[in-house]
Amino acid sequence: MADDKHRLTHIDEEGRARMVDVGDKDATHRLAVAEGWVRMLPDTLQAIRANKVQKGDVLTVAQIAGIAAAKRTSDWIPLCHPLQIDAINVSLTLVDDIPGVKVEARASLTGRTGAEMEALVAVSSALLTVYDMCKAIDRGMEIGPIRLVEKSGGRSGTWRRREA
């Protein structure tokens, strides 16, 4: 059996999936930051920049989609606890070098379990919304990577991604 640090907490003693009991954990302030990209043709990026996408304002709709999804993370991920988010900020940046759109989400709350999944779901939803709104122009768009950048709070403390 793996030591406690590497034990899979969503698996019970018989190997079945379970929701973790967080009842004995202290409520602490928690923050998570996630990011992701959608790569596209330069013409697609230009259409977004010029607000010429037929479905409307891609960046605003994707931002709202990310915020709404973060608030419903436990509906997306079956073993996640429903959390009361204090704040969720979703920002989208047009990046010529990719070319594409970078999404960053910052989720914060005070609670017994973290905000990582909320930030990751926000990024995922925003990226999927960009794809949906632009697919008539560019079906070859690529989404990813989607990743956690940092998290703080809780028993495990602070973690930050180190770039290679």
CA count, 13 A, side-chain hemisphere, 44: 25
Q: 3.10.520.10, 3.40.630.30, 3.30.2130.30, 3.30.70.640: which CATH number matches 25-154?
A: 3.30.70.640
Write out pLDDT tens, residues 97-136: 999 999 999 999 998 887 999 999 999 999 999 999 999 9
Hey, which residues are catalytic here?
A: 132
Please give the annotated binding residues for substrate, written as ranges.
79-81, 117-118
Closest among 83, 80, 111 to 9, alpha carbons compared? 80
Measuring CA to CA, which residue among 35, 65, 38, 70 is closest to residue 135? Answer: 38
Residue range 14-59, pLDDT digits in tens: 767 666 666 677 788 999 999 999 999 999 999 999 999 999 999 9
72 phi and psi, to 5 degrees? -120, 25
pTM: 0.87
Binding-site members are 79-81, 117-118
The domain segmentation of the chain, as residue ranges, is 25-154
